[in-house]
């Protein structure tokens, strides 16, 4: 399990490396569509992610939450997706314009494959699969008729765990339910959702993983560094430290990010797996509360409820 070590007072090494880049290594203003300095691309987009992250966590701490919670979930998904895409532009800033310099900025992967393939592959190969969940949610939200519906369960420890479902039409007669692209089935028959705790911890892990892997793709241990600090990264860590390891039943088997403190060092382990205590069974949930959409045309709600079967352990559904 990779451990990403970070000393807040020193700042992140990727940002320090980017700040220290000499003019001779920078090509951000020479492409057909000029770009900002790569250190600014990183810092500004990370700040956007953390701002939305903080707003969502603050909303979750209120007793009832706001009417905008679904909008905050969507905004966080899209901002993390954009943050990942922005890192390819950071590579572009360090890549001389080549024969494809006239291509649109959205063709950055094609350009980098042609002009800076080794660096692209070193970053893209280990992160493409890691980013697939975020990309899948973003694609469904942007390109399919869909909605984000709120979900709440009382788990096997009697703790209320909140989360969400990316809902689409999944069957006849306008049957709504979790998107199959986003939510895999659990135990073959149980529809699933995403808990806020698991999702938010994974955002933390992804941010560190992407930045560490980009740094490894672009720089070496001997690369020059400058003083540079990312306050938004410290803010992300401070918020993530408050998130509990209380998840939805299927998520206890899924990787998440664990945050620990060792003296003056923050350690993000990602992906990490939850260790069940002896006799612990996350499937024994107590209740499900799903805030699904009501169809005004039919005057009813016709939808699949995630995890419902787990509240009936004595039935023959398995």
Domain annotation covers residue 234: no
Domain annotation covers residue 61: yes
- Specify the higher pLDDT residue, 174 or 4: 4
Tokens of 235: 């803010």
Name 256's bridge partners.
Answer: 272
Residue 132 has pLDDT above 90, yes or no: yes
Secondary structure element (H or E) that encloses residue 127, with its range: helix 117-127
Q: What is the mean pLDDT of residues 38-64?
A: 94
Domain annotation covers residue 113: yes
Terminal alpha carbon distance of the chain: 33
What confidence score (pLDDT) does residue 151 get? 94
Omega cis (within 30) before 271: yes
Distance CA 19, CA 37 (A): 9
Residue 172 banded pLDDT, cuts 50, 70, 90: confident
DSSP of 38-104 = HHHHHHHHHHHHHHHHHHHHHHHTSSS--TTHHHHHHHHHHHHHHHHHHHHHHHHHTS---TTTTS-
What confidence score (pLDDT) does residue 283 get? 95
What confidence score (pLDDT) does residue 104 get? 52
Query: Tokens 């806020």 map to which residue?
Result: 196
Distance CA 284, CA 193 (A): 16
Cβ proximity of 267 and 4 under 8 Å:
yes
DSSP of 259-302 = EEEETTEEEEEEEE---PPTT--TT---EEEEEPPPBTTTTB--
Please give the tally of structural domains in the chain.
1
264 phi and psi angles, rounded to 5 deg:
-100, 15
Distance CA 53, CA 60 (A): 11
DSSP of 193-255 = -EEHHHHHHHHHHHHHHHHHHHHHHH--TTS-------HHHHHHHHHHTT--S---GGGGGS-
Distance CA 20, CA 224 (A): 6
What confidence score (pLDDT) does residue 82 get? 98
Domain annotation covers residue 53: yes
Distance CA 167, CA 80 (A): 20
Distance CA 288, CA 28 (A): 51
Residues listed for the chain: 318
| % residues pLDDT > 90 (the chain) | 77
Residue 33 sits at the vertex; the CA angle it makes with 52 and 111, to the nearest 5 degrees, is 90
What confidence score (pLDDT) does residue 139 get? 97
Secondary structure element (H or E) that encloses residue 10, with its range: none
Q: What is the mean pLDDT of residues 274-295?
A: 87
Domain annotation covers residue 20: yes
Cβ proximity of 201 and 273 under 8 Å:
no
Domain annotation covers residue 185: no
Tell me the residue range of the domain where 26 lies: 12-139+199-228
Domain annotation covers residue 121: yes
Q: What is the mean pLDDT of residues 210-239?
A: 96
Residue 33 has pLDDT above 90, yes or no: no
Domain annotation covers residue 118: yes
pLDDT tens digits along 73-111: 999 999 999 999 999 999 999 999 876 555 554 579 988
């Amino acid at each position: 399990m990779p451990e990403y070590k970070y000393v807040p007072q020193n700042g992140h090494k990727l940002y320090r490396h980017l700040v220290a880049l000499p003019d001779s290594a920078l090509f951000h203003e020479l492409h057909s569509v000029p770009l900002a300095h790569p250190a600014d691309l990183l810092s500004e987009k990370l700040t956007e992610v953390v701002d939305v992250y903080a707003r969502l966590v603050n909303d979750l701490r209120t007793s009832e939450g706001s009417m905008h919670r679904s909008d905050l979930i969507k905004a966080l998904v899209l901002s993390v997706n954009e943050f990942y895409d922005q890192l390819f532009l950071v590579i572009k800033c360090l890549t001389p314009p080549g024969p494809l310099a006239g291509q649109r900025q959205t063709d950055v992967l094609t350009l980098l494959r042609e002009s800076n393939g080794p660096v692209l592959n070193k970053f893209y190969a280990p992160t493409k699969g890691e980013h697939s969940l975020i990309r899948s949610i973003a694609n469904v939200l942007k390109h399919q008729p869909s909605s984000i519906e709120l979900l709440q369960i009382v788990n096997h420890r009697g703790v209320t765990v909140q989360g969400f479902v990316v809902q689409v039409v999944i069957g006849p007669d306008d049957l709504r339910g979790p998107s199959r692209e986003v939510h895999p089935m659990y135990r073959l028959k149980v529809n699933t959702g995403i808990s806020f705790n698991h999702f938010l911890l994974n955002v933390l892990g992804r941010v560190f993983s992407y930045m560490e892997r980009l740094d490894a793709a672009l720089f070496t241990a001997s690369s020059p560094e400058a003083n540079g600090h990312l306050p938004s990264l410290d803010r992300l860590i401070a918020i993530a430290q408050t998130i509990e390891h209380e998840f939805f039943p299927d998520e206890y088997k899924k990787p998440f990010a664990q945050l620990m403190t060792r003296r003056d060092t923050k350690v993000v382990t990602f992906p990490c797996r939850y260790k069940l205590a002896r006799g612990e069974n996350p499937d024994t949930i107590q209740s499900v509360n799903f805030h699904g959409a009501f169809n005004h045309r039919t005057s009813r709600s016709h939808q699949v409820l995630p995890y419902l079967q787990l509240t009936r352990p004595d039935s023959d559904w398995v």
